[in-house]
């Protein structure tokens, strides 16, 4: 396996390969998409040029059959560099009707819209399955003790056992490092996220701007605004004002365009609002909680490091929430569910709502600390749960520095983030 670290998406990918003619694994750059597909592929065509080899894009334009010539499953890496490959893959699947697992495509961005409009004419429905890959969770990197299973909590099981206490310094390190597979064993874990952010502003922006001019100063200000508002419910108008230059906010069209660019790079993972059934007439807020795809990105954008974050505990709290909700989202997806947040006009809110596909759900508050914060968090969870017609399967506080998983007398679980698995 060449040092491959198993990913939570592996079982889903294997099922899709047995169901569809082709599978597209898409997500941000450097998340390990290619290596994950290489564990399954028997041949490959790489659109990114490798040292000493001819330009693969030029070769493919001369003879597109080279892209598909090889034993199945065949990996087609970074397909978006030649967008017409999409329709070709769909056609190949049609010509070999009944065969499954023919192609594995990877993509780290969406083709520019003008190019896509010219070169992609079919959705791929029924032929090409799409699945999103994220950066690694603490369970996948081996930084979680994995003694608490969310699946078992949904089945009514409890928690027990002791674990090594995780320090605040370690939590900060996990935030700054992020879940990038190539950043797990380097001397300075802040360098790769910083380089990643600079590429967002330069080479990656050039690829996705669709030949239309992007004001780089405004774009940088906008990304900085998003980073400052990480893990918050923040409106477009707030982002526009926060990114203002010389007291002039960005216009809505510019904000929408910049959000589209970041989404096309798979850099945003906004957390939608949960909409349960109520006994009361409590009105819900419907705004999404803003998230980058990895906690290391907003940290790198604002210049946070393992020393200066201790001077801004409020922002550190938001970044920890980003780290925790990143992992909870992936754990929820591994269970066939989704992650939401809850907020109403009574000013009651819950950081995370894990909802399974059968409708069962759990309410989760996220706290960086442990002492002096869990009592208030537990009261908030119990208050919101009392409003809901269908009761949650469990209530939990996910903490950065809790010494061990436990169940309080009021029934609320306290779970260290570094104890969790799906």
Q: What's the CA gap between 123 and 30, in Å, rounded?
A: 26
Asked if residue 278 is part of any domain, the answer here is: yes
**Which residue, among 341, 409, 342, 335, has the nearest Cα to 378 in the 3D structure?**
409
Please tell me whether residues 111 and 151 are part of one structural domain. no
Asked if residue 5 is part of any domain, the answer here is: no
**Which residue, among 233, 229, 258, 256, has the nearest Cα to 242 in the 3D structure?**
229
At residue 285, the pLDDT reads 82
Asked whether the beta carbons of 194 and 249 are under 8 A apart, the reply is no
Q: If 0-12 CB within 10 Å is exposed, 13-18 middle and 19+ buried, where does residue 62 land?
A: exposed
Q: What's the CA gap between 96 and 354, in Å, rounded?
A: 40
The dihedral through the CA atoms of 111, 192, 297, 27 has a sign that is positive
pLDDT in tens, 253-265: 889 999 999 999 9
Say if residue 10's pLDDT is above 60: yes
Please tell me whether residues 152 and 271 are part of one structural domain. yes
- Please give the mean pLDDT across all residues of the chain: 92
Q: If 0-12 CB within 10 Å is exposed, 13-18 middle and 19+ buried, where does residue 387 land?
A: middle
Q: What's the CA gap between 206 and 67, in Å, rounded?
A: 25
Please tell me whether residues 169 and 247 are part of one structural domain. yes
The whole model's pTM is what? 0.94
pLDDT in tens, 265-320: 999 999 999 987 655 556 778 899 999 999 999 999 999 998 999 999 999 999 99
Q: Which helix (H) or strand (E) holds 130?
A: strand 128-132
Please tell me whether residues 77 and 191 are part of one structural domain. no
Question: Of 112, 132, 152, which marks where a domain is finished?
Answer: 132
In the chain, the number of structural domains is: 2
Asked whether the beta carbons of 6 and 32 are under 8 A apart, the reply is no
Residue the block writes with tokens 């239309």? 212
Please tell me whether residues 116 and 194 are part of one structural domain. no
Q: How confident is the model at residue 1 (pLDDT cuts 50, 70, 90)?
A: very low
Say if residue 120's pLDDT is above 80: no
Please tell me whether residues 168 and 284 are part of one structural domain. yes
Say if residue 149's pLDDT is above 60: yes
Asked if residue 2 is part of any domain, the answer here is: no
- CB atoms inside a 10 Å sphere around CB 193: 24
Please tell me whether residues 287 and 246 are part of one structural domain. yes
DSSP string, 102-126: -EEEEESSPPPHHHHHHH-----TT
Q: What's the CA gap between 38 and 177, in Å, rounded?
A: 25
Please tell me whether residues 196 and 149 are part of one structural domain. yes
Asked if residue 269 is part of any domain, the answer here is: yes
Q: How confident is the model at residue 212 (pLDDT cuts 50, 70, 90)?
A: low
Residue 329's domain spans which residues? 138-421
**Which residue, among 29, 33, 43, has the nearest Cα to 71 in the 3D structure?**
43
Q: Which two tokens stand for residue 391?
A: 């009761």
Please tell me whether residues 281 and 248 are part of one structural domain. yes
Asked whether the beta carbons of 78 and 48 are under 8 A apart, the reply is yes
pLDDT in tens, 61-101: 999 999 999 999 999 999 999 999 999 999 999 998 889 99
At residue 282, the pLDDT reads 63
Q: How confident is the model at residue 123 (pLDDT cuts 50, 70, 90)?
A: low
Q: Between vectors from CA 54 to CA 96 and to CA 32, what angle results, nearest 5°?
A: 65
Question: Of 107, 132, 157, which marks where a domain is finished?
Answer: 132
Q: Which two tokens stand for residue 12?
A: 């889903």
What's the CATH code of the domain at 39?
3.40.50
Mean pLDDT of 218-227: 94
Mean pLDDT of 385-401: 95
Asked if residue 179 is part of any domain, the answer here is: yes
Asked if residue 238 is part of any domain, the answer here is: yes
Please tell me whether residues 214 and 249 are part of one structural domain. yes
In this predicted structure, which of 20-24, 47-51, 111-115, 190-194 has the lowest mean pLDDT?
111-115
The three-state secondary structure class of 151 is: helix
Please tell me whether residues 156 and 98 are part of one structural domain. no
Please tell me whether residues 220 and 302 are part of one structural domain. yes
- Give the whole-number percent of the chain exceeding pLDDT 90: 75
- CB atoms inside a 10 Å sphere around CB 91: 13
341 vs 202, higher pLDDT: 341
Asked whether the beta carbons of 300 and 228 are under 8 A apart, the reply is no
Say if residue 206's pLDDT is above 90: no
- CB atoms inside a 10 Å sphere around CB 177: 24
């Amino acid at each position: 396996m060449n040092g491959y670290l198993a990913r939570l998406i592996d079982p889903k990918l294997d099922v899709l390969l047995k169901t569809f003619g082709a599978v597209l694994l898409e997500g941000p750059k450097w998340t390990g998409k290619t290596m994950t597909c290489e564990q399954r592929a028997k041949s490959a065509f790489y659109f990114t040029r490798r040292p000493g080899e001819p330009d693969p894009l030029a070769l493919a334009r001369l003879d597109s059959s080279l892209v598909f010539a090889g034993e199945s499953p065949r990996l087609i890496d970074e397909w978006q560099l030649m967008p017409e490959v999409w329709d070709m893959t769909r056609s190949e699947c049609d010509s070999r009707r009944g065969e499954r697992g023919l192609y594995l495509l990877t993509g780290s961005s969406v083709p520019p819209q003008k190019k896509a409009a010219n070169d992609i004419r079919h959705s791929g429905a029924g032929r090409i399955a799409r699945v999103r890959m994220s950066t690694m969770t603490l369970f996948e990197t081996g930084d979680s003790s994995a003694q608490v299973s969310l699946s078992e909590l949904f089945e009514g099981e409890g928690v027990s056992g002791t674990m090594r206490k995780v320090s605040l310094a370690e939590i900060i390190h996990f935030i700054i490092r992020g879940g990038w597979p190539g950043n797990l064993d380097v001397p300075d874990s802040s360098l790769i996220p910083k380089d990643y952010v600079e590429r967002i502003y330069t080479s990656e922006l050039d690829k996705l701007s669709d030949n239309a001019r992007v004001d780089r100063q405004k774009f940088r200000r906008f990304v900085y605004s998003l980073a400052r508002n990480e893990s918050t419910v923040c409106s477009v108008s707030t982002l526009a004002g926060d990114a203002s230059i010389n007291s002039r906010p960005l216009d809505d069209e510019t904000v929408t365009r910049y959000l589209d660019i970041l989404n096309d790079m798979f850099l945003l993972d906004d957390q939608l609002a949960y909409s349960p059934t109520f006994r009361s007439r409590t009105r819900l807020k419907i705004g999404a909680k803003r998230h980058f795809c990895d906690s290391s990105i907003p940290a790198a954008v604002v210049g946070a490091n393992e020393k200066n974050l201790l001077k801004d505990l409020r922002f550190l709290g938001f970044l920890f929430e980003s780290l925790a909700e990143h992992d909870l989202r992936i754990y929820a997806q591994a269970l066939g569910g989704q992650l939401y947040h809850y907020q109403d006009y009574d000013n009651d809110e819950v950081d995370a709502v894990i909802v399974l596909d059968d409708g069962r759900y759990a309410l989760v508050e996220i706290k960086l600390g442990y002492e002096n914060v869990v009592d208030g968090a537990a009261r908030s969870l119990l208050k919101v749960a009392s409003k809901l017609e269908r009761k949650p399967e469990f209530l939990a506080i996910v903490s950065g520095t809790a010494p061990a998983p436990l169940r309080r007398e009021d029934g609320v679980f306290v779970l260290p983030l570094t104890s969790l698995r799906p």
